[in-house]
Amino acid sequence: MNTSAEQDTQLENVLLQNQYLPLYEELSFMMNYGDIGGVEVVFLPWIRLFRACGKHKYATCMTQLLHDLYSVYPEGLRKTIRMNILVNPSGKPGRFRGVDWVIEVLNLYIKVRYSSAVTCGHFSY
Q: Please state the pTM of the whole predicted model.
A: 0.74
The number of beta carbons lying within 10 Å of the beta carbon of residue 95 is 13
pLDDT, tens digit, for every residue of 99-119?
999 999 999 999 888 886 555
pLDDT, tens digit, for every residue of 9-46?
999 999 999 999 999 999 999 999 999 999 999 999 99
Name the domain count of the chain: 1
State the number of CA atoms in the 13 A half-sphere of 103 facing the CB: 6
What average pLDDT does the structure give for the chain? 89
In angstroms, the CA 12 to CA 7 distance is 9
In angstroms, the CA 31 to CA 97 distance is 7
Domain extent, residue 33, equals 4-123
